[in-house]
Structure formats: C-alpha cells, structure tokens
Amino acid sequence: MALGFMSTAALGCVAELEIADKLKNGPKSVALLAAESGVKEEPLYRVLRALATAGVFEEQAPKTFALTPAADLLRRDAKGSMRNMMLFLATRIHFELSPEMMHSLKTGETVVEKVHNVSVFEYFEKDKITGEIFNDAMTDFSAVVIPAALEAYDFSYLNGKTLIDIAGGHGKVLTEILVKHPEIRGRLFDLEHVVNGAKPRIESLGLTGRCSVCSGDFFKEVPQADAYIMKHIIHDWDDAKATTILKNIHRASAADARVILLEGVIAPGNAPSVGKWLDLEMLLMPGGKERTEEEYRALFAGAGFHVTKFVPTKSPMSVIEAVKAN
C-alpha cells in the first residue's frame, strides 16, 4: 500500500504511451514496444515487469508482454476503458497534493488552495491540459456508470418532459439517456467553456432537435426543468455548498420534480471500499466528501427534499432519487 504512488505513476506512463493499444493484436517484445513508443527499452521493461506483478500485463516470455483483463482496460477503445482516468490520476496535481494531506487534517481546508492558491476547478480552467484530461476521464467514467444506471433505474416516466443535467460536462450522461429514451428532452448545464465541448457529441448523435446546452453557475441559479440529474457533482462539495445547489434546484423546479444523483454511497463496516479512498481525494482537492445513506437523507432534507430511493447498480455508483418534501 505504501508504494501505491509508484503504481499510479507506472500506470500513467503506460496509458500515455498507449502500450495496451500496441498489444491489442498479441504479445510484443519490450524492444519493439520501446521503439514504437519512443522510449528506452530497459526502463520500459522495468515498468512493465512491476505492473505484471499486479496482474496488469503478463510477461509470457523473457521481455515479451501480453495483455491481461486489467491491462485491456487501458486500451482507448476498450469497453469501460480506464485509460483517461489513469491519465488523470497520474497528473502532476495528485503528486503535489498528497504529501500535504496533514494540512487538511489540521485545518479542514483543501490542499489545492494551499499549494496553488486557487480552487481545484479554477486550477483545471487555468491548466487547460489537465482540465481536458479531467473532462475526458469523467466522460469515460460515465461510459461505465450510465449503462449500469439505465439498467437499474427506469427513466421512462420522463417521456415528454425535460431532464436537465447539472454540471454535465461533455454530455455523456445526458446523451446516453436521450438515445435510449427518444421521447425525453434534455438540457445540458455547465460552465460555458465546458458545455461548448459537448456540442459535437450532441450533433453526431442526431440530438440537436431535443438537446440544448446552456451555461451558468449552479451556486447562483439553475434553469427550470421537470427533473434534474447530477453525476459525481454533489460529492465535490461540503454540506453547506451542496445544500446551496440543492436549494437552487428546489427553487427552480416544479412541485412534482425529481432530483436524481449518481453517486457512490459509503457502506458501514471495514470491507474494501473505493469510495472511502475517493473520499480522501475529495478532502484534498474540492473539499467535498463521499456520504452514507443517512448523510444523503440529511443533506436533501436540509434543502427541502425527501429521498425516495437508493438504487444500487453494477457500477460503483448508486442512483439516489429525491422529491420535494410535503
């Protein structure tokens, strides 16, 4: 566990070099992989050898490697690809912030503001490359989460109505829902520089007639709609800021509107949990948190909503549905 930073760095390197893509059609020697990637043979071998001990790649013959199921997820075109997520987790900001965790323990403040003197989202806007990697990672993660959510949760009650995706990034979540449910109308709401990146997706899927984009600040106001969906948004914020977002939705929405969250839900006990580790990233970067069922119920209640259901999915995320409280 203590050397986890090394595995992150190694995975980031092989993701950037597209090693998994180069092995798609079968095993290759390290010499060939190094030549194709423009790197030195010996260091690449040492990286692949280490990753193979964790089941990422397999050394089938001396200095010859093949894909494993875990390595296959690093291919660009793999179903459920984690390539962009690994590129994001291996960005410089993570290695700058993690050694400063004690600052958050002592002050309760985010580390990114201590190190860079800006919020993490201001950092992503300033550092365009990292910001784009982040958005691409969220798009890929949506490709895993949304099919699972569509299987577990029935959106058909929104036929003929408008669903708005708050902070919807490049529109992966919303467009997947609209493709499956052709009678639902959609609006994508995010910062202007973000939603502009969603327009090619909307056009390529033939959704221009029933999916629009709009920009704004969800801490100030959100557009009116029949239902609201947010994926991995509320966990970015502390209770006070998350309540502000939900209250703005409450103010804009109709009496029968529903709010749908796609979020991880922290389970009790000591079982292995990705969410409990992701919670530490929330501590260091945006200042948010992963929450338990009880914490989500309390959060919604504070904004005038009542949680009606928690729906587990085959992904790490659950669907959380809420309506206005009586």
- What's at 240, amino acid-wise? A
Q: What is the distance between the alpha carbons of residues 154 and 10, in angstroms, rounded to a whole number?
A: 40
Which helix (H) or strand (E) is 301 found in, with range? helix 293-301
Burial (CB count <10 Å: 0-12, 13-18, 19+), residue 270: exposed
Residue 304, helix vs strand vs coil = coil
Cβ atoms within 10 Å of 199's Cβ, excluding its own? 15
Q: Are 265 and 293 in contact (CB under 8 A)?
A: yes
Strands 258-263 and 318-324: antiparallel
Q: Are 53 and 35 in contact (CB under 8 A)?
A: no
The catalytic residue among 170, 181, 232, 235 is 235
Cβ atoms within 10 Å of 124's Cβ, excluding its own? 20
**How does DSSP classify residue 265?**
B
Is 235 an annotated catalytic residue? Answer: yes
Residues recognised as catalytic:
235
